[in-house]
Amino acid sequence: MKKIAQKFKALSDETRLRILALLAGDELCVCDLMAILNLPQSTVSRHLATLRNAGWVEDRRQGVWMYYRLSRDSEPLADDVRALLRQHLADTPQALRDREALAAFRSGEFSGRCA
């Protein structure tokens, strides 16, 4: 029960839901998320740690950068919730704005793109 509660608590924040919606499309670097969410690295990293500890995301290091993607754990409850999140978050106005901002960031419209 405690693990299930932790999973749902991690979803109780708008920023973390935005992160999950962005990660549904692709693996992202912390700098990508910082630019899109307009938040400092420490805040983004704290939210990512919460999602990682709850089992929603996985990370990998490449040089000095950390990259995150949706967890590949196959657990029935998590699979069902991920499917619901994809279905219901994808077309929200905020998720659409975030995807547009990510596309602009990746095309170089923003300065400071991580390497």
Q: What is the CA radius of gyration of the chain?
A: 14
Give me the number of domains the chain comprises: 1
Whether 4 is covered by a domain: the verdict is: no
- Convert the pLDDT of each residue in 18-36 to its tens digit: 999 999 988 999 999 999 9
* pLDDT of 17: 96
* pLDDT of 109: 59
- Convert the pLDDT of each residue in 40-75 to its tens digit: 999 999 999 999 999 999 999 998 888 999 998 778
115: pLDDT strictly greater than 60: no
Going by C-alpha positions, the residue among 34, 39, 17, 19 that lies closest to residue 84 is 17
Whether 95 is covered by a domain: the verdict is: yes
Going by C-alpha positions, the residue among 90, 48, 95, 40 that lies closest to residue 68 is 48
* pLDDT of 83: 86
CATH number at residue 75: 1.10.10.10
